[in-house]
Structure 1
Amino acid sequence: MTSALSAAPAQRPSSLFSLCMPACLRRPGRVLALALTVAAGLAGPAAAGDVVLAPGDTNNPYLFDVLEKQPALKQTLGRLFTAGRVPPWVRGIATGGPFVGGPSRAVLKPPGGLMTYDACKQHDCGDNQLRILATKDGKAAWALLSESGRMRFFGAPGPSEQAILNAAMAD
């Protein structure tokens, strides 16, 4: 006696591909389109290899010079370095506190009129590095702080800004 609830024997999928992929993606053209879309999304607006910084030139303005001549950047950094736990030497950058700085560098790729600035803690540069990324008008800025190898971003940089800051820190 067979039950009305008995089901037909289960069919075994022909491949792992057909088991894991929804029916709408089983056509090769759609799979390729999906793969390209995912790869583009993972690369982000600027992958680390897509970042090109101008070479350092001692004739370029240093951070302390730029802060004197550009009040907008001074205000932006003042706001950027007040949130959360910020080392005193970093907080002091906006007010001209003691720090060591290098020449500014233009971001050549991706284009967008951005500049990078280097700073480090006076008498302890090896373990306390800061990279600042700012618009040329100084109205927006992000930063990456390295303290004894621990990295921390300021200003909630997006993937593109993070890639630029990481490239500046590695250079």
Structure 2
Amino acid sequence: MPWQDAARFAASLPLAQALREHAWLYPIVETLHIVGFAVLVGAVAMFDLRVLGFGRQLPVKALARHLLPWSAGSMLLVVPTGLLLLVADPLALLANRVFLLKLGLILLAGVNALAFHAGPYGQADAWTGRAPPRALLHALLSLGLWIAVIACGRLIAYF
């Protein structure tokens, strides 16, 4: 299969070998990945909680202007470290159903965020009191998806 050839090639790269052979390199990369994910999911969760009605004294769009750079910036840490973790053992990870589920959940979380920003977020300045039901649904879905992503990340080692 072509993906297996690509995975074998990635695993043979000197950087992949270094990640497997040096005692501290993989744990350092993993720690940076988790720190980046904490910032990403923390920013997303704070925004979702605001949409759900917590902290109503904070305007939704003002909070978004503050949190969006944090979540976007965290991607500069999450993506490269995630790719490094993948390249260290690509055959095992790509055969791991929990890892593949994690990737699918991340994709769904991204689609949900795009749908939220293309839809109800456009009228966020006009929200009085509670956000509309569609916005609440997006926020709940977002929280659930990101919690599931975190759970999958932890469960990868056990499957």
TM-score strictly above 0.5: no
Q: Which has more helix, going by share of residues?
A: 2
TM-score by length of 2: 0.25
**Higher strand proportion:** 1
Name the larger-Rg structure. Answer: 1
Q: Which has the higher contact order (CA 8 A, sep 6+)?
A: 2
TM-score computed with the length of structure 1 as normaliser: 0.23
